[in-house]
Amino acid sequence: MTRVRVTAPRSFHPGGPATAGSITAGGAAAGRTAVETREAAEESDAGQVFIRSLIRSQLRLGIVVAAGFLLILLAFALLLGLVPGLAELRIAGLPFDWVLLGAGIYPVIGLSAWLYVRTAARNESRYRDLAGDK
């Protein structure tokens, strides 16, 4: 039984079916398709280094964003626990801790998600530039 390595989805080219054997509009060198060129680049030693680098950078990004979010959440909890009387404070009839969690955490979640998506896209763009993908 042979191992099959799936590296990318089949590409779609206008005017033709979505197959791995379709020739790109720019015409690949010596009749090679974009998928074959990408697979060859990924199979090379340099391609493997690029892929491992991308995976490490995405993992590092996920860990940094998650750790930053947890630190902010911990800071909110410490603020409520260490400042006397803050938990009993009311703003517009609502307890301050609810307001802090409702109005303070959700923007942090949104900002964390936005930063993660933006940085992950930049990492992937850098990978494509290094790997020679268009």
Cβ–Cβ under 8 Å, residues 28 and 132: no
- What the block records as the tokens of 35 is 């998928």
- Give me the residue label for tokens 């590296």: 7
Q: Among positive and negative, which fits the CA dihedral 50, 56, 61, 62?
A: positive
What is the pLDDT confidence band of residue 34, given thresholds at 50, 70 and 90? low
What is the pLDDT confidence band of residue 95, given thresholds at 50, 70 and 90? confident
Domain map of the chain by residue range? 1-36, 44-131
- DSSP summary character for residue 9: P
Q: What is this structure's pTM? A: 0.59
